[in-house]
Amino acid sequence: MSLNILSIAGSDPSGGAGIQADLKTIAACGGYGMSVITALTAQNTQGVRAVHAIEPEFVGEQLRAVSEDVRIDAVKIGMLSNAAVIAQVADWLAHIEAPVVLDPVMIATSGDSLLDADATAALQQLLPRATVLTPNIDELAALSGQPVPERWEEVIELARQLADRHDVLVVAKGGHLNSSSCPDALVGAYGVLAEYSSPRIDTTHTHGTGCTLSSALATYYAATSDWSQALEMAKSYLSEAISGAASLQVGSGHGPVDHLGALHRAADSQSGDPMLEWWERIADIRAQIDDLEFIRQLANGKLPRADFDYYINQDALYLRTYAKVLARASEISSDIEAQRFWAIGCTSILDGEMELHRGFLPHFSDTPSETTLNYVNHLSSCTANYSELIAAILPCYWIYQDVGQRLAAASHPEHPYAAWLAEYSSPEFDAATTKAIDLVRAAWRRADAATRQRMWLAFERSSRHELYFFAQAAARVE
C-alpha cells in the first residue's frame, strides 16, 4: 500500500526547498507526495527576493479538496506566510487525524525572514496541533522567546521547554552549532527520547535541508509508526543527500542537496554489483568496529571476562529475536530455496549458537540492554517487507564474517575465546554469508527504486547497530 504524504508549504522556483524539495524527498523515501501551496516565492540559491501569499480561502479549498478524496497518512507543514493562512490550516487540522510534522519555517538558510510579525504570533497557536516540531536553532529561539543557544545542552533544554509548553515532540537540531559533529535529538517534555550524531559535512549545499528532513521524517513515520526510528532514517537520508550534493551544479549560493542521489546511484550500479557498493558505503562503520577496544582485546585474548560475559549475555538475548526474524524471512519469501535458507539459519541459532553461548555462560540474565533492544526493534520493524527485512538481516552475516576472519587469524589453542572465534570464521558460515548476500542482491534486482532505498537504509542502520552492539560491553556502567 502506498503512503500518502501531504506537504503544506511554499513554492521554491529554484527547486531546492519548499514544495519542490518536499515532493522529491517524499518520493525518494517511498511515499506518494501531495501538495497544498501556501505561497509563491521569488528566490534562488542566493536568497529570497519576494513572497506572494496565496489567498487564505484558496489554501483552505486546496486542503479540503485533497482530504475529502485521498487518505492522508502523514502531513508535513512548512512555510505558512501569514496569520490568515495559518488560521485556515489550523481549522483544517482540527478535522484530521494523521500525524503532523510542523517545520516552523521562519528564517531561510540565506537569513531572510519568511514570516511577518502577525504570522509569527499566530504560529504559536498552531504548535499544539502538531505532533512533532522541527525548528532550526534560530527558529527554536524565536519560538521560545530566548537568545539563540550556543551549546548543545542549551538547545536540548529549549526544545524540552517547547515540548512541555505545547505537548508535542521537538526535533532538536545542532547543525548550526560550531562543532565537528551534527547532533540531532528527539525531545519530549521530560527530556531526550533519542539522540543521534553524525560527522559534519563541509559543504555550502544546505539550501532546503530543513524542508528535506521534515518531509523525510513524516514519510518514514508513516512507514514505521516510530518517531525515533523515523528520525534516524531521516537523518541518514539527509546526510546522504548532502554528501552527494557536490555533484549538482545548481546556482552560485547555498546550493540544494541531492534529494534523489541514492536513486541515481542505484540506477548507475544496475550493471555493477549493488552489494559491493553498499559494502563500500559502510567502510567508515567497518573501520570504527575494527578500532574498538573490545575487538582489539578480543583478538589478543586480553578482553576482561566480565566484558565478554556481558557481550555473550546480550548476544544470546539478541539471538532470541533474531531467530524469529529469520523465521519471518522464511515465511514471507516467495522462493522455496530462500525459504529453506532462512529456516536453516533460524534452526542453527536455536540448536547451535545458543549452545555455544551456554558453554561460555551457563546462566543468562533476561534483561536486554537499551542497545540490544534498539537493534532487535529495528529488525522487527522491517518484517512487513521481505526485501527490506533481508537487507536488515545481512549485516549480522556479513560484518560478523568480516570481523571473524581477522579474529580467527589471531586465535591460537591457548586463546581464552578460541571456540567463539572459530564459530564465525568457519567455511559453513562463509558459505551462509555468501548465500545471504546473493539473496539480498537478487531482491534488490527485482525491487523498484523506492524499495531499493528502503533496503539500503535498513542495511545501513543494521550496520550501525552492529557497531553499537560490539561497543556496548566496554561502555556499560557497573
Question: Domain spanning 265-475 has what CATH number?
Answer: 1.20.910.10
Task: Determine the pLDDT at residue 423.
Answer: 67
* For range 415-437, the mean pLDDT: 80
**pLDDT beyond 90 at 440:** yes
Any idea which residues carry the catalytic annotation?
A: 173, 206, 208-211
Residue 278, C-alpha cell as written in the block:
553498499
The residues spanned by each domain of the chain are 4-259, 265-475
Residue 80, C-alpha cell as written in the block:
505558512
**pLDDT beyond 60 at 218:** yes
DSSP 8-state code for residue 184: E
Q: Output the pTM of the full model.
A: 0.63
**Backbone phi, then psi, for 410, in 5-degree steps?**
-90, -5
User: How far is it, in rounded angstroms, from Cα 170 to Cα 304?
Assistant: 41
Over residues 62-94, the pLDDT tens digits come to: 999 999 999 999 999 999 988 999 999 999 999
Note whether 336 and 302 are within 8 A (CB).
no
Residue 467, C-alpha cell as written in the block:
557497531
Question: Domain spanning 4-259 has what CATH number?
Answer: 3.40.1190.20
**pLDDT beyond 60 at 271:** no
Task: Determine the pLDDT at residue 478.
Answer: 47
**pLDDT beyond 50 at 16:** yes
**Which amino acid makes up residue 344?**
I
